Amino acid sequence: MSDLSDTAAEIHDEFSEHVDATVDDVEARLEKLVTEYKVPLAEARRSVENHYLDEAGLDRDELGGRGNDTVQVEDVDEPEQWVDLTAKVVELWEPRSDSVGQVGLLGDPTGTIKFTKWAKSDLANLEEGKTYRLGNVVTDEYQGRYSVKLNKTTSIEEVDEEFDVGDNEDEVEGALVDIQSGSGLIKRCPEEDCTRVLQNGRCSEHGEVEGEFDLRIKGVLDDGRDVHEVIFDEDATEALTGIGLEEAKQMAKDALDTTVVADEMRETVLGSYYRVTGPTFGRYVLANDTEKLDDAPDPEAVLIKARSI
Partner 1 sequence: MSNAPTREVARRVFADEFNDAEFTFKESDDERAPLYALLPTGERANRVFVVGTLTETEDIGEDSEYWRGRVVDPTDTFFVYAGQYQPEAASALRDAETPTYVAVVGKPRTFETDDGSVNVSLRPESITTVDEATRDRWVVETAERTLERLDAFDDEGNEYAERAKAEYGEDVSAYRRAVLDALEDFDTESDEVPPADA
Task: List residues binding partner 1 (CB under 8 A).
Answer: 77, 175, 177-178, 220, 222-227, 229, 263, 266-267, 270-273, 282-283, 293-300, 302-303, 305-307, 309
Identity of the residue, 193 or 294, whose beta carbon is nearer to partner 1 in the bound complex:
294
Identity of the residue, 20 or 295, whose beta carbon is nearer to partner 1 in the bound complex:
295
Identity of the residue, 143 or 200, whose beta carbon is nearer to partner 1 in the bound complex:
143
Give least dist CB 185 to partner 1, A. Answer: 18
Give least dist CB 75 to partner 1, A. Answer: 14
Contact 81, 139 (CB under 8 A): yes
Identity of the residue, 221 or 248, whose beta carbon is nearer to partner 1 in the bound complex:
221
Identity of the residue, 191 or 257, whose beta carbon is nearer to partner 1 in the bound complex:
257
Give least dist CB 166 to partner 1, A. Answer: 21
Instruction: Count Cβ atoms within 10 A of the Cβ of residue 85 and give its class: 0-12 exposed, 13-18 middle, 19 or more buried.
Output: buried
Identity of the residue, 208 or 223, whose beta carbon is nearer to partner 1 in the bound complex:
223
Identity of the residue, 159 or 303, whose beta carbon is nearer to partner 1 in the bound complex:
303
Q: Tell me how far the alpha carbon of residue 109 is from its chain's centroid.
A: 15
CA 264, 171, 197 angle in degrees (round to 5)?
45
Give least dist CB 273 to partner 1, A. Answer: 5
Give least dist CB 192 to partner 1, A. Answer: 28
Contact 137, 149 (CB under 8 A): yes
Identity of the residue, 19 or 177, whose beta carbon is nearer to partner 1 in the bound complex:
177
